[in-house]
Amino acid sequence: MSAEPTVEGLAQELSTYLDTNRINQVRRAYYYAEQAHEGQMRKSGDRYITHPLAVARILAELKLDHQSLMAAMLHDVIEDTGIPKDALAEQFGEDVAELVDGVSKLTQIEFRSRAEAQAENFQKMTLAMARDIRVILVKLADRLHNMRTLGPMPYEKRQRIATETLDIYAPIANRLGMHSVCTELEDLGFSSLYPMRAKYISKAVNKLRGSHREIIEEIRGKLQEKLEERGLPGRILGREKHLNSIYNKMKFKHKSFHEIMDVYAFRIITDTEDDCYRILGAVHSLYKPLPGRFKDYIAMPKANGYQSLHTTLFGMHVNIEIQIRTEEMEHIANNGIAAHWMYKNEPSNVTSVNQARVDRWVKGLMEMRERADDSLEFIEHVKVDLFPDEIYVFTPKGRIMELPSGATPVDFAYAIHTDIGNAAVACRINRNLGSLSQPLQSGQTVEIITAPGARPNPAWLSFVVTGKARSSIRHVLKTQKRAESLELGRTLLKKSLKGFGAKLSEISEGQKQAVVNHNQVNSFDDLISDIGLGNRMAYLVARQLVNGAEGAEIASAEAERPTDRSPVTIRGTEGLLVKFASCCKPIPGDPVVGVMDSGNGMVIHSDTCSRLPEDDEGRARLTHLKWAKDITDEFSVELRVELERQRGVIAELANAVAMADGNIERISVEDQNAKFGIVSLVVHVNGRKHLARVMRRIRNIRAVTHINRVRH
């Protein structure tokens, strides 16, 4: 058995980038932890201290700062040994104590398989990351070592930890640009969850690699020759395909194993950005590039800071994938956000940009957290943001915005600012008016047109893809629904009270409170809101308010029925909680009644609608409505037109509607023979008088034999 790793071995490694004073601080943290964990063992039979030491080694490979390494040594001290945070702060300073506290809070929140608990924990993780991103780096290293030593754990625990690693930790490592940590976590997680599949793929990869060795060497030789011929510096590395990514491509992209493995992948690492583009020219002169497969992530880095040139070439009867990047880009591709600390002493442009991206992402998470009503909703938003395939679009001023693929102009609007998203009414894509729901393509310039007082449309939720857009829209709609349910509920309650000869303003706080307690709600507003949503009946609440909460229940519902028949006025623009029935499509001027629909407010029907209840009990529950005087909004009406078939008659029909200032929403020919046809028209009008004008115009067309309004 190999000798147990020691703190001296670690100190040796640290001496390549830390000064003696800082290395000694790390050493001190090690001895402190060793003492604290004295007598504790791991499942594998090793002393417990081997784990914190291994975590610190992983961070040392990433060249992290001394405080992160100290936190790695001490990360289980608070939780496992009962030493309080204050004691650590006294010994090692406030920063280290905060980091340790952050990591142990993340450790306590082991993600249960129950989605609710998992989501709660994810929120805590976001908070910890927002305070100091290094917390998550220590946690990722801790998770990586746990995954490497998962063997002795019981089966259930192994499954849970592996699932959580693939669901939460690997995507976070990817989002922070830490490619090497991410792929190792994915492969370890995959091997734990599917040991047989992993073994099978691994065997197949090794077998294939053996038979392909000659081709790989030949391609590498030709690339090397070409670089030397042009005097370009660059080392050429072969790229391994990872088990998890092979499996995912086979599963989700339905590719065969040989299709995936028949691509030869190389990485060329060079000195400067300029060399990257020269090398690109050199390899394109050697083999033909495949059209549409070239990506320039140097000019437009990925959201996690990754930069590289990607091209796919066709040569020697196979596809050759090549990534070209500088040493610094290579370092950032592998270590991502962790690279930020290594370059602390000589700030580099790339890392500060990278850091800004991560800060922006974490800030976005915090905003979503504040808006989400519950943690499950939050985690649903975040999962979208953790798996982005980016597209890049431009603002009119030329700023680049990264969005997940499939993003729409609404996502773009919210990415700029929540207020712009909330007030968006239209957009221009490459200077032409576009639809708010169409998916954007990389390279487009998008301009959002806003209008004061505009509100998000509930339909947007069916096509937006970013968490920020979804959570912002839901937040506004919830607030709006609450305001509208209160207004509608209050109107209905006042009307019912009037039937009992009472007024809402005359009812004492005590009476209200008694009714609130009786109905087991939190406040009187909640009760009114429930009436507006159709979850409670206004007259029952009114009766409780008038007769006292308890007494009202005893009296029979019918005996106490209020007699007030005065109608409630509607404008037709009430918003989310007043909807028009699609069966009878009522318009201003039609006699109408309201039916309360549980949870969704009031649906307005024409009072002759066949879907209304027939019995007295049902009839008594309807709300009598009247239209406001000055309605200018448009409403849909369906018309059925019977006509003789002639050339151009449909155009004549459309023209007649336009002449009467109507708007056609839909026109379709229902039924026809050689002589006659029936046309179904859906027209927008602003009331009965307007409708009469439209129908008169249509009747005047010579070919029309009959016209009537359709009420289902």
Q: Could you list the mean pLDDT of each consecutive 10-residue stretch along the chain, which spans 712 residues?
A: 67 85 89 87 85 90 85 83 83 86 67 53 62 80 91 86 85 80 92 92 84 83 92 87 85 82 86 94 92 86 80 84 90 71 47 62 66 60 58 81 86 92 91 90 88 86 87 86 83 82 82 85 86 80 76 42 59 67 83 81 84 78 78 82 87 89 85 82 88 91 89 71
Q: Looking at the domain assignment, is residue 375 inside a domain?
A: no
Same domain, 656 and 582: no
CATH number at residue 152: 1.10.3210.10
Report the C-alpha gap between 523 and 514 in whole angstroms. 11
Report the C-alpha gap between 551 and 628 in whole angstroms. 38
CATH number at residue 332: 3.30.460.10
pLDDT at 551: 46
Same domain, 516 and 657: no
Same domain, 603 and 495: yes
Token couple for 187:
């492969």
Same domain, 186 and 49: yes
Same domain, 681 and 642: yes
Same domain, 184 and 289: no
CA nearest 468: which of 509, 411, 393?
A: 411
Contact 105, 364 (CB under 8 A): no
Write the CA distances from 699 to 653, 684, 692, integer angstroms. 10, 17, 10
Same domain, 13 and 153: yes
Same domain, 18 and 137: yes
Look-up of token digits 């007649």: 656
Look-up of token digits 């009946």: 537
Same domain, 536 and 670: no
pLDDT at 1: 33
User: Three-class SS of residue 433?
Assistant: strand
111 — phi, psi (to 5°)?
-70, 120
Look-up of token digits 């798996």: 387
Last residue of a domain, one of 342, 366, 401: 342
619 — phi, psi (to 5°)?
-60, -40
pLDDT at 554: 39
Same domain, 545 and 652: no
- For the chain, first and last CA: distance in Å? 83
pLDDT at 213: 80
Contact 565, 495 (CB under 8 A): no
* DSSP 8-state symbol, 240: P
User: Three-class SS of residue 600?
Assistant: coil
Q: Looking at the domain assignment, is residue 241 inside a domain?
A: yes
Of these residues, 34, 61, 79, 380, which one is catalytic?
79
Looking from the CA of 543 toward its CB, the CA atoms found within 13 Å total: 19
425 — phi, psi (to 5°)?
-125, -25
Contact 266, 219 (CB under 8 A): yes
pLDDT at 696: 92
Same domain, 48 and 157: yes
The rounded radius of gyration (Å) of the Cα atoms in the chain is 34
Annotated active-site residue 79? The verdict is: yes
Q: Looking at the domain assignment, is residue 150 inside a domain?
A: yes
Of these residues, 13, 34, 61, 80, which one is catalytic?
80
Last residue of a domain, one of 318, 342, 366: 342
Q: Looking at the domain assignment, is residue 484 inside a domain?
A: yes
Q: Looking at the domain assignment, is residue 426 inside a domain?
A: no
Contact 639, 681 (CB under 8 A): yes
* DSSP 8-state symbol, 410: H
How many domains in the chain?
Answer: 4
Report the C-alpha gap between 96 and 64 in whole angstroms. 13
CB atoms near residue 421 (< 10 Å): 26
What DSSP letter does each residue of 324-375 carry, written as one string? EEEHHHHHHHHHGGGHHHHTTSS--HHHHHHHHHHHHHHHHHHHHHHH-SSH
The one-letter amino acid code at 661 reads D
Contact 78, 37 (CB under 8 A): no
CATH number at residue 694: 3.30.70.260
Same domain, 203 and 172: no
Q: Looking at the domain assignment, is residue 179 inside a domain?
A: yes
pTM (two decimals): 0.58
Task: Kindly provide the b/e burial profile for residues 226-263, where b requires at least 16 CB atoms within 10 angstroms of the residue's own CB.
Answer: bbeeeebebebeeeebbbbebbebbeeeeeebeebbee
Give the range of the structural domain holding residue 535, as residue numbers without chain letter: 476-626
Annotated active-site residue 525? The verdict is: no
pLDDT at 382: 59
Q: Looking at the domain assignment, is residue 605 inside a domain?
A: yes
Q: Looking at the domain assignment, is residue 373 inside a domain?
A: no
Which residues are CB-neighbours of 443 under 8 A, at least 6 positions away?
392, 393, 394
Instruction: Please give the angle made by the CA atoms of 7, 13 and 15, to the nearest 5 degrees.
Output: 100
Last residue of a domain, one of 626, 645, 675: 626
* Crossing angle of the two packed helices 20-36 and 66-74, in degrees rounded to 10: 10
